[in-house]
A and B are shown apart, each in its own frame.
Chain A
């Protein structure tokens, strides 16, 4: 590592977590099933990054790979994962265990299945504190009570003795969040944290995650299939399609001037209040490609309304031809460049 890179990584605005060219595959040899290709992402200290895409586009696989928690058969086929400059893929399993929880923490989508049904909330919350951080039981219980208070669970002391099935869905999600932040992680990965909840609870949980991120100075990676979820919470968004990043931009830029046809299509499929023109939702035609049967060229070409012959043969690079870096797009056509430019100049006037 050169001196320049070193200072860049250790500077307060540098990335706390960075994925470089990460690939994830299942199986070995000829039959390897590539589900994530060359994904590069980074999140700075205190920053919130949204990762958006349809089900099966590799969002969760990417994050599990970063935590080295891929299911059996899955492995990282390429790339590096840096947490504060340390490549996690080179750590021993013992060192990696210390990273999990304290370095990177995970909130899964369905808190009912993500909590151990045979252990009380208190027992599972306190487990890493007592067995890996050397806290006494009394200290751990005190800390657990504080954490439950922090995430807004009333009657925390009594709740520690409850089993997961005795709590409501929103409370379970709060408990799961309390567990995730218990070791003061530097990066919090929230994998669809609101999918299993009703709409009112969803916004409460999102606000809670947002508040905790700001109060505790964590970086947040919010994985979702719902662009509406990232809108109020994240600073930047990366859009994934078929295991590849197709567009990354600041959240506001992405919503105002998306440049990839897939991002545009995703935005068009959201219902907006008071928007007469979108009375009918416009779903994206077709299905994402099957990883067993990859599409040649741009993976979105069968569903794209702007497709040109080049799209069917050559995979576009992820590059920014307009802004010089802050808004990279993986598209040959980049059909929304012109409207975006017009919008930018219009805003300047």
Chain B
């Protein structure tokens, strides 16, 4: 198991290297001159040239990349134009907010998704199974920003039960309870799509394994139906479900862009949205890099979990 973890960890290095190259090239590919954005169209040519020189934009591409990498390992992601702060600081301040939302959403999606999928799989073809299929289809076909707006309309404006944006009430002093109230709607919005995917995957994986010989063996030894599902079917169905959950965590980070925008949630997503609309290229680069690295690390964690649930993997 340990050698498997080390082996898998070493594979991460080239992937992350590739990610830095991609984010660097991204800035090269995006049309438009950063000098225009920073100085405005009224600036003189000398001022622009001076800025380009100071930003290193006149160097050859590979030198720029080397400089980029060098700064990167020092934790310097450049300067955000819009926030007038180092990119690393902008991201760091918001990372925990996004993580809070994403973790809450993935927990909600996993717990309810796995439970609903298992529940449906116990009686395939029954009314509740078909009911779940309808709900899954509904959540899967609904854009998250639309769901967010509908939730705001119902719970925020009509019922006035929950706050519609931000992390704390404007008057302040709400503490944890206020934070949790602010989290409800964005968490549901962010989780809905993943929840549906996880529920569907859990259902089909359990149905795949429930007819296995080892399930019959356990039944033939008098093991009860609850233990059959929880102790025998679910662990064998988990590798597929965990893979999907891991992929969903990656999607949640990108899904956060829309959800955070709708709910004015001060996370990386909202910052990325602002960066994209103002062409704040260092911030876009930094944001993508952080999201991509998080994605890679999550996948690593998923593989380790996968090996835990399927002992055969760690041998190979």
Contact = CB atoms under 8 A, between A and B. Distances in A.
Given A116-B217, A127-B227, 20 more contacts: A64-B216, A67-B220, A69-B216, A100-B219, A100-B220, A100-B222, A101-B222, A105-B220, A106-B216, A108-B217, A110-B213, A115-B217, A127-B221, A127-B223, A127-B231, A131-B227, A132-B224, A165-B315, A182-B221, A183-B221
Contacts of B227: 127, 131
A27 interface: no
B158 interface: no
Interface string A95-125: 0011111101110101001111111000010
A310 B294 CA distance: 77
Contact of B236 (A69, A117, A176): A117
B220 A97 contact: no
A248 to B, nearest CB: 25
17 contacts: A100-B220, A102-B222, A105-B220, A106-B216, A113-B213, A114-B213, A114-B214, A116-B236, A118-B309, A127-B223, A128-B221, A131-B223, A163-B312, A165-B311, A182-B221, A183-B221, A183-B222
Across the A-B interface, the 3 shortest Cβ-Cβ residue pairs = A106-B220, A101-B222, A113-B213
Interface string B9-37: 00000000000000000000000000000
Contact of B222 (A72, A110, A132): A132
B310 A108 contact: no
Interface SS of chain A: helix, strand, loop or mixed?
helix
Interface string B202-221: 00000000011110111111
B232 A116 contact: yes
A22 interface: no
Given A102-B222, A128-B222, A132-B222, A114 B310 contact: no
B235 A118 contact: yes
Contact of A108 (B216, B236, B311, B315): B216
A69 B216 CA distance: 7
Contacts of A105: 220-221
Contacts of A98: 222
Contacts of A309: none
Interface SS of chain B: helix, strand, loop or mixed?
helix
B236 to A, nearest CB: 5
Interface residues of A, number: 36
Interface in A163-183: 163, 165, 176, 179-180, 182-183
Contacts of B222: 97-102, 128, 132, 183
A264 B3 CA distance: 59
A128 B217 CA distance: 11
A71 interface: yes
A119 B217 CA distance: 13
A26 B220 CA distance: 21
A165 B312 contact: yes
Given A117-B310, A117-B312, A118-B309, A127 B218 contact: yes
B223 A128 contact: yes
A123 B191 CA distance: 36
A116 B209 CA distance: 10
Contact of A179 (B124, B217, B232, B310): B217
Interface in B74-95: none
Contacts of A119: 231-232, 235
A115 B213 CA distance: 7
A108 B213 CA distance: 8
A102 B218 CA distance: 13
A98 B223 CA distance: 9
A165 B315 CA distance: 10
A119 to B, nearest CB: 8
Contacts of B218: 116, 124, 127
Interface in B151-195: none
B115 to A, nearest CB: 20
B311 A114 contact: no
Nearest to A110: B213
Given A98-B222, A127-B227, A176 B217 contact: yes
B242 to A, nearest CB: 13
Nearest to B123: A72
A119 B224 CA distance: 17
Nearest to A100: B222
Contacts of B224: 97, 131-132
A179 B227 CA distance: 17
Interface string B288-312: 0000000000000000000001111
Contacts of A128: 221-223
A106 B213 contact: no
A46 to B, nearest CB: 21
